[in-house]
Structure 1
Amino acid sequence: MHSNLSGWQPEVKAALQNLLEKAQNKSNPYAVFDWDNTCIYGDVTETLFIYQIDNLRYKLTPWEFSGILSIALKDNFSGESPVEKHAEQISSDLLEDYTFLYEHYIVNQKMSLEKIRETEEFNDFKAKMFYFYLLINDHAFTKDSFLWMMYLYSNMTAIELENLSKESIDFNLHAERKCHLLSSSPALSKKTGVLSAHYTGGLRINPLVVHLFQELKAKGIGVYVCSASAKEVLIPLVTYQQYGYALPQDHLLAVRLDRDSCNVLQPRIDEAYPITFKTGKMQAIEQFLVSKLGTEPMLVAGDSTGDYYMMTGFPGLELALVMLRSHQKSVELVRRLRHEHSIPFAVQRNGEGRPGQLKVS
């Protein structure tokens, strides 16, 4: 059977061709993909986090911003550890910075965006926001440590967030894929002093995955995305025709923020939906796909240990596809699949990685 799978490594291409052949004898066959660093190069939520900072696109008063930082601390730390005290000091500095930025730009634009970006308060805010994010991500005791970032979308309507995400996506598709170093201001008298953090900017379409989506759909295999990002953040890149993936919105399983009667987003999760991270991805697939389609996925694709449970939670799975990149969680996923399970899996080394530096044992 002919298939257009050029560009995939030979063993991966053979596994995908075998899957396509088996699908012809299946009822309601479908595949589920993680999104960030699986279907694209980069992280849509993380790049939006930076874009939101760079453009000060918030609809929060200082009091509301402080409340979100308090949620981040309360949800991710227990007890009075040195790390938690450090995070509390950072949150205090951030509130001071945000209040300045709110009064001079966000609420009334006394200064232009170009001028506000030149202030010590802006530089301090940007560096400490990303440092705060990394600190929580590295030390939180909860698996849902990222949710507070989504609460920064509060007071936007769903369509405003979707439009903001599209702005960020379009900017980052043209931005250089490189590492940026951030350092907070030494000129300000702050509780935490000078802090530094780095992030990788930019996004890129993965043409291999775009073509695979097309191939799967042409063979009658449903294609779904299950991601830990907020749904509105992913809608443009996943569903708009211009980017190539072009899935229906109801094929997107993602985190749902609660909203009021006017469709304005609130700083809490919609409890009617699972939080689509780790075991929550498996729960969402069971709740919205297995129950609807009457069968388990044939293919599940991901790039990190956050995808482990949806790859191993379905006995009927034909193939787990790992998009391997130069990251510890990606290498660990392959190790766990190799040593802890007997499910068939294939590994595609990410085109942006450096395969010579990847070692899986």
Structure 2
Amino acid sequence: MKDAMQIGAIAAMGCLTPADAAVQTATTSSVGMLDPGRWEPSARFRIESIIRKSALEEAEQRFHRPYAVFDWDNTSIVNDTEEALLLYQIETLAFHIPSDKFIEVILQNVPSSTASAIPNERGKFSTFHSLAVDVSADYTALKQRFASLPPAPDELQASPRFHSFRAKLLFLYSALDETLGPNVAYPWVINLLSGYTLDGLARLAEESNDTALGDALQLAVFRSPEDAPGAAGPVKVEHRRGIRITSEIASTMHTLRANGFDVYVVSASLEPVVAVFASLPKYGYGIPREHVFGLRMEEVNGTLQPYYRRNWPLVWGPGKVQLIREQMISAKGYGPTLVFGDSDGDFEMLSQFPDTATGIIVNRLKSGKIGSLCRKAVEQSSKSGARFLLQGRNESTGLWRPEQTTLDLHVTQAKLLADKT
């Protein structure tokens, strides 16, 4: 009688059918539950039922370990660790690229005569070559001025060259992404880390993480000086500052591992940069280094080169599916049980594996392909066996919301879906 009452209560709270709720209650003491945290309740109950079902199946099959795949940026954390590192590099001038090679690096695989899809402050559409010329000139001047000692923050802030360099380099990255897409922009941005050893990069990434964790979450606006337009003209760019740990994701990762799941991270950021965050104990996620996958660069004698790794998939969109097939399915023989993501770059891995019981989407009010999955998640939220789940977030605090809706930066009204999906 008590079991029946418990099943009925769980079904009512989580919008589950009695059958789903029964799976949730039919468990041994070794099968844990998720920390409720700020989980949207029906999403949490659905995941718990999957964990319990998978744990029972694993006990019966013995050799079939289920696994979960997590995107990193804006899924496992708030905001983007690679883009936080880019800003940290700029604001500390932490580049190891010789001045005479800088323009070559930032124009590699970029059609230099192509115009940006984003206009400058004067309404003109600058070419990527003109932007690269300005950024390279600023970089050379700053490197010459601060050749012997790392620059003090107040010295940099007093330099018009620095303001031009920061705005135009960030603008160039944003313009590449907007104009040519992630297949160009994502390998491009990691090339700015060429010249680092893996140990040196790990130290830099940790410094960047710690700085960004202390920053306020904001949409910062950077402008180049109007009176020093250069070849590309004055520009303005917005860049999200600050990152946050998502405790619900970290806790879920630990619960999954405690219940027989392997846990993997598959990211469109540089793999060793993500590994610092995902694997260092101080951040709380505890992912084994060998379970972290992302973009890779060529190395020579332990030093990163400004070239993408040969025969390694571009780990975004379809490339994430390719990586999972090559690195996980080829060894295990089956796909992931759970997949977590937030953007168009996760659409394929969220939707294309027949073995996936549920895809969990962090709601960032996105349109496009991921927006279509968000809409499906809303439609399925009251149904048994939902294929997609939607988890809300407060973008101003970085905290999840215990519902599907998301509160965007500096607004007071939460929304369920993007205006256009």
Q: 1:236 aligns with which of 276, 297, 315?
A: 276
Aligned to 2:215: 175
Deviation at 1:192, TM superposition (A): 2.4
Give the alignment of 1:110-259 within 5 angstroms. Answer: 112=152, 114-140=154-180, 143-259=183-299
Alignment identity in percent? 26
Indicate yes or no: 2:417 matched with 1:359. yes
The worse-fitting range, judged by mean Cα deviation, of 140-149 and 12-21 is 140-149
SS in 2 for 1:192: coil
Aligned to 2:53: 22
Aligned to 1:316: 355
CA distance in structure 2 between the aligned counterparts of 1:21 and 1:141, rounded to whole angstroms: 40
Give the alignment of 1:33-72 within 5 angstroms. Answer: 33-71=70-108
Contact map agreement 1:298 1:319 (CA 8 A) in 2: yes
List 4+ stretches of structure 1 deviating above 6 A. Answer: 336-339
SS in 1 for 2:73: coil
CA distance in structure 1 between the aligned counterparts of 2:33 and 2:377, rounded to whole angstroms: 27
Aligned to 1:307: 346
TM-score, with length taken from structure 2: 0.79
Deviation at 1:335, TM superposition (A): 3.9
Q: What one-letter code is carried by the residue in structure 1 that aligns with 2:387?
A: P
SS in 1 for 2:226: coil
CA distance in structure 2 between the aligned counterparts of 1:96 and 1:290, rounded to whole angstroms: 47
Structure with the greater alpha carbon radius of gyration: 2
Number of equivalenced pairs: 354
CA distance in structure 2 between the aligned counterparts of 1:184 and 1:265, rounded to whole angstroms: 30
Partner deviation per Cα, 1:224-257 (whole Å, 9 max, x = no partner): 0000111111121100111110111011011111
Aligned to 1:345: 388
Indicate yes or no: 2:321 matched with 1:278. no
Deviation at 1:200, TM superposition (A): 1.4
Indicate yes or no: 2:330 matched with 1:291. yes
CA distance in structure 1 between the aligned counterparts of 2:154 and 2:104, rounded to whole angstroms: 28
Compared CA separation, residues 80 and 30, structure 1 to 2 (3 A): closer
Deviation at 1:193, TM superposition (A): 2.4
Aligned to 1:96: 137
CA distance in structure 2 between the aligned counterparts of 1:280 and 1:159, rounded to whole angstroms: 27
CA distance in structure 2 between the aligned counterparts of 1:230 and 1:315, rounded to whole angstroms: 28
CA distance in structure 2 between the aligned counterparts of 1:59 and 1:321, rounded to whole angstroms: 39
State the Cα RMSD in Å: 2.2
CA distance in structure 2 between the aligned counterparts of 1:95 and 1:161, rounded to whole angstroms: 22
Compared CA separation, residues 335 and 305, structure 1 to 2 (3 A): farther
SS in 2 for 1:347: strand
Contact map agreement 1:237 1:243 (CA 8 A) in 2: yes
Deviation at 1:93, TM superposition (A): 0.9
The runs of 5 or more residues in structure 1 that have no matched partner are none
Compared CA separation, residues 80 and 235, structure 1 to 2 (3 A): closer
CA distance in structure 2 between the aligned counterparts of 1:165 and 1:93, rounded to whole angstroms: 27
Q: What one-letter code is carried by the residue in structure 2 that aligns with 1:239?
A: S
Compared CA separation, residues 192 and 351, structure 1 to 2 (3 A): same
Contact map agreement 2:92 2:150 (CA 8 A) in 1: no
The runs of 5 or more residues in structure 2 that have no matched partner are 1-26, 59-63, 118-124, 380-384, 396-405, 408-412
Deviation at 1:333, TM superposition (A): 4.2
TM-score, with length taken from structure 1: 0.91
Contact map agreement 1:154 1:267 (CA 8 A) in 2: yes
Compared CA separation, residues 297 and 115, structure 1 to 2 (3 A): same
Deviation at 1:187, TM superposition (A): 2.9
Contact map agreement 1:144 1:277 (CA 8 A) in 2: no
CA distance in structure 1 between the aligned counterparts of 2:306 and 2:299, rounded to whole angstroms: 9
Contact map agreement 1:159 1:232 (CA 8 A) in 2: no
